[in-house]
Amino acid sequence: MSAGALTWGRRFLMCPPTHFGVLYEINPWMHAEVAVDLERARTQWDGLVAALREAGAEVEVIEQDAEVPDLVFTANAGIVSGETFVPAHFRHPERQPETERFATWFADRGATVERLPDDLSHEGAGDALPFGADTGPGAPVLLSGYRFRSDAAATTPLSVLTGAVVRPIELVDERLYHIDITFCPLDDRHALCAPLGWDRYGTAVVESLVPEPLWLTDDEALAFTANSVVVGTTVLMPHVPPRVGRQLEAWGFDPVAVDVGEFLKAGGACRCLTLALDVDLTGAG
């Protein structure tokens, strides 16, 4: 079946890499001895912004200070649902100062900031992506990854705070430490899916939810192919494997490669650098 369009993904929050760097190691991709070329990072970030705008999206910006080098990965800011924002609770102390930066940004713009319980970790949209609608209550489904950065116990409070049906998926490969490295919703029928990152139950959940998945090989998954951003039928990807590109085009999507190599040094790509601001998980959007 041909491509449709997501009901979200036309407005994004991003953070320019003013103070970005690999200054600590909290995932297998980060090596503190690897230097980031800040000028190149800024050029790549500008390129992603330009590609998003060319595809029809709006981009809003939060500024960074030196205490939060990973603030560029705005997908981890929290979860947006209509006028509600649930800020992330980061597992690693190095990223915990980001929480109040993002909460303040949303509160200043009139959002209602709802908090997870203090003892639960959950890293925002990096570990929670919406897809379609559940067959039961009819609300959108939020696929929520857990284990390396987020707690399975966050499922219930997330559902209460956002209004979504939350389906937890256990992540099993530390290299794919967030769900947005393993899953990319394309429309209400299609998604990029990396089963390397999930246990058998998680794979079964995706199989039952996604009518036409594009299963990624292990090499494609480890190249961050699923960490892509969708605007209408445009898919902005850190690279476009030929096999994946052909299938996307056959479905009516337009895959576009965007160089984010400096950010891959910290274990993040296109999706990690963006937070969709127009998500409504209540089913009212």
Q: 89, 178, 190, 239: which is the annotated catalytic residue?
A: 178
Active site residue 31: no
Locus of tokens 């200043």: 108
Q: Residue 213 — φ and ψ, nearest 5°? A: -75, 150
Residue type, 134: D
Burial of 202 per CB tally in 10 Å (0-12, 13-18, 19+): buried
Active site residue 184: no
Q: 15, 184, 270, 272: which is the annotated catalytic residue?
A: 272
Q: List, by residue number, the catalytic residues.
A: 178, 272
